[in-house]
Structure formats: C-alpha cells, structure tokens
Structure 1
Amino acid sequence: MTRDQTVLLAVGVLAVLCLVMCLALWTALVRARRGVIRTSDELVALRRRLDDLEHASASAAAPMPTSAPVEFVITDLGAPRPPPEPMRLEGRAFADLLLRETVVKAAALAQGVRRGLAPATRNRIRFEMKQEVRRARKQRRADLKAAQRDLHARQRAALAVDRREAS
C-alpha cells in the first residue's frame, strides 16, 4: 500500500466519520425541536387549565362563615381499646408478601455475607485480631509478674515471721 493510498484511505474514513457525526447531530436537533414543541404545547394546556381553575375558584369564592374555634377534649384516656382486627389476605396476596419478605431477607443476608467476606473486611479483622492477641499476651505477662511479686512478698513475709518466732 503506497503513501497516497494510505492518505486517501484516512481522508475517506474521516469523511465517513464526519458524515455519521453530522447525521447524529441532525437527529439530536430534530428530537430536541420535537421536545420543545411538545413542552410548549403542554405549557399552553397547563395555562388554560390554570385559568379555568382560577375562574372557577373566583366564582365559588363566597365568604365562608367563621365559626368559633373548636376545643377538643380527651374523654377516653383511661378506657381500654379493643384490639384491632387483623387484616384478611387472599392466598395470592399472602404468598406475594411472604415471597417478597423472604427475598428481601435473603438479599440482605447475601449482601451481609458478601460484605463480610470482602478482602478489606477480612484484612481489618485479621489486623484487629493480631492487636487483640498482642494485648492479651501483654496483659497475661503483667498479671504473671504481679502474681510472682505477690508470691515473693508473701514468702518473704512468712520467712520474716519464722525468724522472729525462732529468735
């Protein structure tokens, strides 16, 4: 393939791409114009409805008589209420509710397991476990040293008491 053929091929490909992009732009403009026309028609219809509603409310806007404010009194504060009657569901509706609830619970469990078994979670748990093991080891060593000090102190006190009794 010669250099002239390569250039000609590249120019042809670019021309086809430009043509495709022009067609895409033209279809986008046509769709946008249709959307604008549809929106303006809907706006005109909404304005007509709003005008009709304003005229209807203006004609029906007769002054309403004002009444004295009503004071509500709680009269059944201590009276026992009957328990609400349970709803009755058809078999299909019950099965649908049961299935939905089961699916939601299963999805939640799967999400929790997936999140719990994620590498980041496992690494964080491993790190925290190592820290806890080290902390427990230090605590055991400190407890052992304290117990040894206490034992040696008791032994010294017992020796001191034995020497005093022997003298």
Structure 2
Amino acid sequence: MLITSSRKPSANTRTLCKYLASFFNCAYLTRGKMGLADVISCSDDSNVLVVGDYHGSPGSLMFYDKDGAELLSIRLSIFYPDGYKFSNLKSMEPVLMGDSELGNMLSFYFGIPQYECDGIAKCIRVEDDRMEFLYSGSLLFRLNVKSYRVPEVAD
C-alpha cells in the first residue's frame, strides 16, 4: 500500500501520514502537485490511502484501488493521549482486532490478519466508531470514526 496526503496538507496531516506508513510498514509519498492518477501510477499495483485535511487536521481516509476506483471513505478526527511519542515501528507486522464491518474492510484493504491483540506488539483495535493504534498494549493514537461509506459499484 502507498500512503499520501491531500493536495495541500497541514503539518498535522503530513505527520499522521508518516505515522500510518510506519505502523503499516508501507511507503509514504509526498504528494506535492501530483494528481491522483499520478499517485496511483507510483503505487506498484497496490492500494492507495489518501489522508484528507479538514480545518488543519486530518479529516478523512480514502482508499483507492490500483485502477483509481474508490474502495472506502472514512470521515474521522484524531486523538493523541497525554505524553504521546511515536517512534519508528517498521520492523514488526501489525494485526487487526475487531469483527465489525469496518474492521473486516480494513483487514481486507490493508492485507492485515485479524487476531486478538494479546501479546502482539502492533495492533489496531477496530470498532465501527473508532480505530485504536496500540503498541505493546499502550495507546499510540485513536482515530474517531464519524462515518464511513463504501461507494456503490456501477453496473
């Protein structure tokens, strides 16, 4: 998967992109003036995640397939706990815990296995209203899900 931002992202949005890329062990692309088609052409035949901005903070996650079709759109807000400090986590593979509709879709699009988080270093606990990113049982950050939608497929 390739992670990038919206066209003119805030510093907070660029930071979240880098955190997500580190957490998911995937590439982050500084978008600049590239259009979505150009970004997708850089993705090496994998899905693309675009982190959108809303009033200077991350406000959405939009997943696209290798052909540019929108797979999933999530509106969100972000929460960092007190004393939050993120470090590079690329050496470990994450797992996803949660049997919600959103959890199942994220597992499929990210290619992340679904297991219980007990004893797992990197874990995402997903419910339909939040995604908690955990490292060794401690909360790194939480994405509060306001809404999500799966685009209808045209026949």
Bigger proportion of residues as helix: 1
Q: Same fold (TM over 0.5)?
A: no
TM range (shorter): under 0.3
Of structures 1 and 2, the one scoring higher in RCO (CA 8 A, sep 6+) is 2
Q: TM-score, normalised by structure 2?
A: 0.14
- The TM-score normalised by the length of structure 1 is 0.13
